[in-house]
Amino acid sequence: MNFSKKGLRLAGALLGTMLMGSVFAGCGGGNEAKSDEIKIGANFEMTGNVANYGNATLEGLKLAIKEANDAGGVNGKKISLVEVDNKSEASESVNAATKLISDDKVKLIVGPAVTANVIAESQVATDNKIPVLAPDATSPAVTVENGQVKDFIFRSCFIDPQQGDVMAKFAIDKLKAKTAVVYIDNSSDYSKSLGQVFKEKFEAAGGKVVMQEAFLQKDQDFKAALTKIKTANADVIFIPAYYEEVGKIVKQARELGITQPLLGTDGWDDFKVADIAGVDALNNTFFSTHYSDKDESVKAFIDAFTKEYNHAPNVFAALGYDAGKLLVDAIKRAGSDDPVKIKDAIAATKELQVGTGIITMDKNHNPIKQAVILENKGGDRVMVAKIMPEAE
């Protein structure tokens, strides 16, 4: 290639400027040192089968970060949220995490919403020493693998054993159930984990799981399996699954004349369940979740969220808000935006007030926090129990 003298002089000037910038960067005067923002990644299901969860969680997270920024930021810096859609797919969750880490240079990733997608991104985050804070993913495998705690992976929601234990004991003690059917989503780690825990806890308490059936995510017609389940004549039916399938299962179960109590977990906690199943079909159903909107202790969050978005939050919005409050607190205590220091601060979280209650992080990177059981009744959701677990 040929360059004119004028072009060479210009190129030389540009090169000198670039070299001078490199020197200043090496002396702590580069963009990184001067940055007045802390980049946080948001890897969520904004489209796809569980987009309702991802978008709701993201709204709660954004509110917590807005509150922190409006109050002056964290350690003199504003938090900048970089949002990426994982399309409700595990492979896309890995791609999203890779982009956030490699291209956007985030200091921490919040999300995804569902268990399988968090597990999928865990390795790339760990390899790059970037903490992950999962707001909604409840499987123990999110934070512990083969007995080893994942150093950079945390959650801000309770775990499946707590939900499975709570629902099994509720079935035995409150509903006086002696027999149960477990009906799981065989394509979901979340559902399979909960089904296993419920069975173990229910039978340990003296009950008997008389039948286990399975479906797959995005199935539409559940009547063949439900007809078989009906013949078991069990006292309760446990269905740990997500709202799209749950609404259809409840509707079709009632159409087939299944009148027994239907039990679920926090995957039920979405207003769309009632839209899909119908209010009457939801009567005599119970599910575990993270808070009740009638609990005075969460009123401040609900009011702030409603003012910001002009609609009431669901539980996933609340969990996103909790995650935001937790990460803001951790960055403050870390006194730095260094990912390793943030990771250490999250692990040391104790008695932190968040939107849905108080969080203390345990040795397995799981928060010790309350669970509630809600009953669907006449279009309303009534709190029938509140349980606070003991620390390990």
Walk me through the domains of the chain, giving residue ranges and CATH numbers. Answer: 33-158+296-361 (3.40.50.2300), 160-289+373-387 (3.40.50.2300)
Tell me, rounded to whole angstroms, the distance of Cα 321 from its chain centroid: 11
- Helix, strand, coil fractions of the chain, as percent rounded to 5: 50, 20, 30
d(CA 284, CA 18): 69
So what's the pLDDT on residue 384?
92
* pLDDT for the residue 25: 37
Positions in the chain whose pLDDT score sits under 70: 1-34, 388-392
Q: Which residues contact 210 (CB under 8 A, 6 or more apart)?
A: 179, 180, 181, 232, 234
Q: What is the pLDDT of residue 76?
A: 92
Per-residue confidence (pLDDT) for residue 326, from 0 to 100: 97
CA distance 53 to 243: 9
pTM of the model: 0.75
User: Each residue of 326-351: pLDDT tens digit?
Assistant: 999 999 999 999 999 999 999 999 99
Q: Are 100 and 82 in contact (CB under 8 A)?
A: yes
